[in-house]
Amino acid sequence: MHQRVIIFLITILSFIINSCSTGGGASYIDTSNINNEKQMWNPAYRAYNLSNDTTRIYFIIPTDDILYVRNPKTSLYEAKTEIKYNAVNLETNNIDDSGSVLINKNSKTIPKNPLIGYFDIKIKAEHKYVVNILLTDNQRKKNYPNLITIDKSRIGTADDFLVIDSTNNISFLNYTSNNSKLKVKSRRVKTKNIFITRYIADEGFPLPAYIVSDKIKYTPIKDTVYSIDISKPITLSKTGIYVISSEIKINNGLTLLNFHNGYPLITQKENIAPPMRYLTTDEEFMAFEIGTENEKLNTEKLWASLSTNFAKMEKLFTTYYKRVQYANIYYTSYKEGWKTDRGMIYTIYGPPSSIYKTIDKEQWMYGLQNSALPVDFEFKKTKNSLSKNNYVLVRSSNKKEIWKTAIETWRKGHVFNKKEIEKIQEQYDRRLQQRNNMMYPGMSSGRY
């Protein structure tokens, strides 16, 4: 029934990015042109420590993020971009290195493949850094702000390793599948053998935004530990969380994830039922019969029940799973991205209107910023040996109404997004204004 929906979903491909700005430790950015539901491709970066004083930053820029303009004199298509950066030492709060890189490309036709390259920065060993990056498309006059962290505090951190995929290209994603062959390189780790520790993946779901709970913190369950020759290809044949480390006694290093084949995309029938947990009751979710042959059919039946109009149902279906995939790409930590707190909020509410971000937290704001009914969510970054991308939502009981409204909107066959939030805020503001006019009848006309 939904075959063309599944085919559409399979074709979506994206790259991971952490969106932030080029200020110091904290700054405000408008993400309306970066995080949106039509564009999932954004520039991505990967840090690799070459030596005690040099770190290489690889970048990948999707073609859609660069404007190629045809030069009438040469008949070539030209792209003109620039990367500006500054590396802030988190111990001293000083900028240890800064600079800019010009990226000009000429081509007879507009390239289909992304632009991949690198630049080197000078930062010290035994320190941690945050690198503020601003990519500017000079043809389009558009900025792509970003922020990455680099750990050189010891030998054997995640940034001391570089992953090469089966096509012999640098992997910007820490995901792998059952039969994929990877190679791990390191210049700072002077050892022939590296250790691989496998942990069982966390299968739990996050609680709704309004439920404040003393839920026990997830403790990684160690499964196996073994060593391999670093020059040999690696195949991580079982699902789980894998940590590559330079010494067996070190319990953190480079994390590689194997959740399911095709991850972070939703490409298999058994992947569509679990993300429906946010929209279903306990009984409905149990009725999916996850893990059986009936799973896909039961899930499709529920989607079909949300709207009698196939076109609307298809939009509902594709939007929801595009958000799930986006969450997987951006918010994966030690668990699948859609299962994280940020992934849950993104799946239900869509892209924020704007984000305020610091090193240790993110503030997501939706809808009208001057409304008397703010809709925002705060996420605090938490230390985790398995991930540098783990954020926990600050839950509050006052999120109950907007959460229930969001779920009800989906259940009535409508996509919940910023426009829906703005409608709610406008209605609230009108009611508030009417109440104020009744209590203080002269204020609206400027009379006292």
Mean pLDDT of 209-213: 92
Domain boundary among 122, 157, 192: 157
The total domain count for the chain is 2
Query: Residues with Cβ < 8 Å from 361, sequence gap 6 or more?
Result: 378, 379, 380, 381, 391
Q: Is residue 438 part of a domain?
A: no
Last residue of a domain, one of 122, 138, 157: 157
Domain membership flag for residue 5: no
Residue ending a domain, among 157, 180, 211, is: 157
- Per-residue pLDDT for 20 more than 70? no
Residues 290 and 414 in one domain: yes
CB atoms within 10 A of CB 205: 15
Domain range enclosing 345 = 269-430
CATH number, domain containing residue 58: 2.60.40.10
The pLDDT tens digits for 83-114 are 999 999 999 999 999 999 999 999 999 998 89
| 287 and 147 assigned to the same domain | no
For the cut 60, the answer to whether the pLDDT of residue 8 exceeds it is no
Same domain, yes or no: 153 and 275: no
Helix ranges (DSSP H) in 217-353: 282-287, 295-305, 310-331, 341-349
Residue 214 lies in a domain: no
> What are the residues whose beta carbons fall under 8 Å from the beta carbon of 252, sequence distance 6 or more?
157, 158, 243, 245, 385, 386
Domain assignment of residue 297, yes or no: yes
Terminal CA-CA length for the chain: 64
Q: pLDDT tens digits, residue range 265-298?
A: 887 777 899 999 999 999 999 999 998 889 999 9
293 is a domain residue: yes
pLDDT of amino acid 37 = 65
Helices 400-411 and 418-439, axial angle in degrees (round to 10): 130
Give the Cα separation of 193 and 168 in Å (integer).
21
Averaged pLDDT of the chain: 86
| Least confident span in 3-7, 66-70, 75-79 | 3-7
Polymer length of the chain? 448
**Residue 63: inside a domain, yes or no?**
yes
Q: Do residues 275 and 423 both lie within one domain?
A: yes
Residue 141 located in a structural domain: yes
Q: What is the pLDDT of residues 125-176, one digit of tens each?
A: 999 999 999 999 999 998 988 889 999 999 999 999 999 988 889 999 888 8
Cα–Cα distance measured from residue 87 to residue 72, given in angstroms and rounded to the nearest whole number: 39
Q: Is residue 120 part of a domain?
A: yes
